[in-house]
Structure 1
Amino acid sequence: MSLIVQKFGGSSVRDAQRLRNVAGIIAETYLEGNDVIVVLSAQGDTTDDLIAKAEEINPHASKREMDMLLSTGEQISVALCAMALESMGLPCVSLAAWQVGIQSTTVHSDARIKKIDSERIQSELDQHRIVIVTGFQGVDRNGDVTTLGRGGSDTSAVALAAAFRADLCQIYTDVDGVYTTDPRIVPNARKLPEITYDEMLELASQGAQVLHNRSVELAKKFRVNLEV
C-alpha cells in the first residue's frame, strides 16, 4: 500500500462533468489499495469572480477579509468532490485547511506554511477514508484563515506529501507533463520524461505556470517524489 497525494487545479474541477472525471481518477487510485489525500483548487474562474464581487463592495477591502472570501472557493470544490465520491459508494471526507491544522504565517494573501498537524488526516486515513483538503490556504496563530498566493494549491499538496512522507505527489494540470517551453505557444516543444528540482525551479521562476515555484522549493527540501 502506498500513500499518494493528488492535486487538481481549477480547470480540472470547473464543472460537474470534470468533477466526476476527477472523482474517477481518485477512485481508481484508492481502489488499487492506496491511501489517498486529495488537494483541490477553486473551480474554474471562481477566485477571479470572488475578487470581482469584493471590488463591487469595497475596492480597498483588507487582505484579511479577502482571505476569508477567497478561501470559500476551495471549500466548494472539496465538498462537491466528496459528494461525487459518495455517489460512487466510496468513503471520503472533505476538510478545510484549518480543520487539518495547516498552520501558516500571519501574512494575509501571501502566507507560508509553517507546520502541518498530522492527527486529523491520519485518523481519517486509518479509517480508510479518502481525505480531500482545500488547497491554497492555512490558518495563522490567531486562528484566522490565510491564503498562500496564486498557485498556492501546488504548495499545499507538496507540503502535505512532505508531512506524511507520501510515496508520490501527483499534480494534475492542463498539459500532460513538463515541456521545454509552453506547448500552447511553441508547437515543437518537447515533453521531458524527468527533470531535476533545480531545473524545474528555474523554469518556474522564469514564469512557467506548470508548477508554483514555492512548491518546487518544498519538494527539493523534503525530497518529495513529484509527478506532473
Structure 2
Amino acid sequence: MPTLVMKFGGTSVANLDRIARAAKRVAVEVANGYDVIVIVSAMSGKTNELVGWVNDTSQFYDAREYDAIVSSGENVTAGLMALRLQEMDIPARSWQGWQVPVMTTSTHSSARIEDIPTENINAKFGEGMKVAVVAGFQGLSPEGRITTLGRGGSDTTAVAFAAAFGAERCDIYTDVDGVYTTDPRIANKARKLDKIAFEEMLELASLGAKVLQTRSVELAMRYKVRLRVLSSFEEPSDSAGTLVCDEEEIMESNVVVSVAYSRDEAKMTLISVADRPGIAAAIFGPLSDAGVNVDMIVQNISEEGRTDMTFSCPTDQVKRAEKAMQAAKDSGEINYHDLVADEGVAKVSVVGIGMRSHTGVAATMFRVLSAEGVNIKVITTSEIKISVLIDRKYMELAVQALHDAFELEKAG
C-alpha cells in the first residue's frame, strides 16, 4: 500500500471533538487505500502548561527530566487518536518515540533526528494495522533517554517519517488553510498560494512565518518530500492548502511571492570597536557561545582604526547578548566604547525565487518605503530575499505598502 503521513498540530487536536474530526480525515485516506502514519502534537496549551510545571518545580532543572515531562502531552494525544480510530473500526495503535524508535542526538530539548528504522511499523502494517499514530516532537537518545526536538518539532517528525517511509505526501494540518502572500491579519488583500518552492518556504520560515518549523522545511527540501499545508477546520478538497514542492513543479510565479515580517527584533550596535583582523570572530564567537541568534550584520567604514558593528537578534536575547559582550570586554578579547540596544525595531522581508533572474526588486522596495516615510536602519540580502530593519511602529504600514507595490494579490 502507498503511505501517507498526516500531521495534526495542537489546535487540530485541542479537545476530544477535534480529535474525532481529525480521525474522520484519517479514515478518508484509509478508504482511499493508504497506509497512514499520523503524527500528533500535544493538545493546544498542554506543552506550555508542562513547561510551567517544570519551571515552578526547579529553577535549574535536569534537562533529561524536562524532556520526560514535556513530551508526555503527545503521548496522551496519540493514545486518544488511536482509541477514536479503533471506535471507527480502523485498525490503529499509538507509538511513542522510543517504540519506533526515533533515534536522535543527546541534546535534550533540541535534539536532532539521526535515524528512523521502518521495520517495526512496517511489520505492523503487514499484520493488518492501517494507521500508526506516532507521538511527535520526541525521540530516543543513544543513552536510552527520551529527547524532544524543540518547539515545532512535530513538523520535523512528520517530514522525517515521510522521508524514511517514502511517503507519497506529507500533509500538515494546522489552524491556517495554507501559505499566504503575507499575514491576512495585516493585509486584507493577502492571497493563499497554491504552490510555493522549498527555498521560498525555508526563507519565510526563517524570517518569522509561523506556518512551518524551519528544520522541517530543510528536511523536506533535502529529501524531496512533497508537503501540503492545510486547515483541519475546512472541508478537504483537491485544491485545499498550499503545496510546498520543487521549483520545477511551479510553472510561473510572481518575482516576489511573499512579504514576511518579524516583530520581536532588536538592533544592537557596538560603538568604536578596534578594526583589526579577527575582530568579527571575537564578537560573534562569544555571542554564539551564549546562544544568541544573530541575524543581520553590518560593519561601518573604519575611521582611525575604529569601527562600529551592528547586528540584530530577538528581543528576548538582548540581555544575554549584553552579558556576553561585557564578559568579552572584561576579559580583554574586545574593546569598545559602548553597546547600544534598540528594542523598538522590526524586520520586513520580500521573498521570491524570481529575484534570481529579475532586477529592480531592491529599487522598488526602497522607493516604496521612502514614499511612506519609513527609514531603513539595516539591509541584508540573499539570492532570493531582501530584508530591512525598520522602526516597529511602521511595520504594518511597510508590509501593506510592499504587498500592494508588488501586486501580490494577483496570481503569477
Q: Counterparts of 1:82 and 1:128 in 2: how far apart (Å)?
A: 15
Distance in 2 (CA, whole Å) between partners of 1:63 and 1:197 is: 33
Quote how far apart the aligned CAs of 1:210 are: 0.5
CA distance in 1, matches of 2:30, 2:183: 32
Q: State whether residues 35 and 128 of structure 1, in contact with CA within 8 Å, keep that contact through their aligned partners in structure 2.
A: no
Between the aligned partners of 1:185 and 1:125, the Cα distance in structure 2 is 46
Deviation at 1:198, TM superposition (A): 0.2
Is residue 109 of structure 2 the alignment partner of residue 109 of structure 1?
yes
Does the alignment pair 1:179 with 2:199? no
Matched, 1:36 2:40: no
Residue matched to 1:13: 13
User: How do 1:52-71 residues align onto structure 2 when only pairs under 5 Å count?
Assistant: 52-71=52-71
1:82 equivalent in structure 2:
82
Cα distance in 2 for partners of 1:6, 1:125 equals 16
- Residue 185 (structure 1) shift: 3.3
3-state SS, counterpart of residue 37 of structure 2: strand
SS at match of 1:195: strand
Q: What's the offset of the Cα at 1:215?
A: 0.4
Deviation (angstroms), 1:126: 1.6
Structural mapping, 1:143-158, within 5 Å: 143-158=144-159
**Cα deviation digits, residues 6-52 of structure 1 (max 9, x gap):** 00000100001001000100111111111100000000100000011
Distance in 2, Cα, partners of 1:51 & 1:81: 23
Q: 2:24 and 2:81 mapped to 1: Cα distance? A: 10
Q: What RMSD over aligned residues (CA atoms) do the two structures have, in Å?
A: 0.9
Provide the secondary structure at the position in 2 that maps to 1:211: coil
Residue 103 of structure 2 aligns to which amino acid in structure 1? Q
Tell me, in whole angstroms, the C-alpha distance in 1 between the residues paired with 2:40 and 2:13: 8
Partner of 2:293: none
CA shift, 1:138, in A, is 0.8
1:9·1:42 contact (CA, 8 Å) conserved in 2? yes
| CA positional deviation for 1:59 | 2.3
* 3-state SS in 1 of match to 2:47: helix
1:123 maps to amino acid: A
Q: Distance in 1 between matches of 2:128 and 2:32?
A: 13
The alignment partner of 1:166 has SS state of coil
Deviation at 1:53, TM superposition (A): 1.3
Residue type at the aligned position of 1:26: V
Partner deviation per Cα, 1:141-189 (whole Å, 9 max, x = no partner): 0011110000000000000000011001000011111111222333221
Pick which of 176-185 and 153-162 moved more: 176-185
The percent identity for this pair of structures is: 48
Question: Which protein is bigger by CA-based radius of gyration?
Answer: 2
Amino acid at match of 1:169: C
> What code does the residue aligned with 2:212 have?
L
Corresponding residue number in structure 1 for 2:161: 160
For 1:189, the aligned partner's letter is A
Q: What SS is found at the alignment partner of 2:195?
A: coil
1:50 corresponds in structure 2 to 50
Q: Map 1:119-138; keep pairs closer than 5 Å.
A: 119-129=119-129, 130-138=131-139
Alignment partner, residue 222 of structure 1: 223
Shift of 1:225: 1.1
1:56, distance to aligned residue in structure 2 (A): 2.1
More helix by share: 1
Q: What amino acid does structure 2 have at the position aligned with 1:55?
A: N
Q: Which residue of 2 aligns with 1:192?
A: 193
AA matched with 1:146: T
Q: Answer yes or no: is the 8 Å Cα contact 1:42–1:77 preserved in 2.
A: yes
Indicate if the aligned counterparts of 1:92 and 1:131 stay in contact, CA closer than 8 A. Answer: yes
Q: What CA distance in whole angstroms lies between the structure 2 residues aligned with 1:179 and 1:167?
A: 24
Please tell me the residue identity of whatever aligns with 1:53.
Answer: W
Q: Which has the higher contact order (CA 8 A, sep 6+)?
A: 1
Q: Partners of 1:90 and 1:161 in 2: how far apart?
A: 21
In 1, the alpha carbon distance for the partners of 2:219 and 2:136 equals 15
Distance, in Å, in 2 between the alignment partners of 1:139 and 1:186 is 43
4+ residue runs over 6 A deviation: none
How many pairs were matched up?
A: 228
5+ unaligned residues in a row in structure 1: which ranges? none
Of 212-221 and 121-130, more deviation after overlay is shown by 121-130
Structure 2 distance, partners of 1:160, 1:50, is 26
- For 1:127 and 1:158, locate their aligned partners in 2 and report how far apart those are by CA, in whole Å: 25
The CA deviation string for residues 108-162 of structure 1, in whole angstroms up to 9 with x for no partner, is 0000000011111111222232100010111010011110000000000000000
What secondary structure is seen at the aligned counterpart in 2 of 1:227? strand
Structure 2, unmatched stretches of 5+, are 230-412
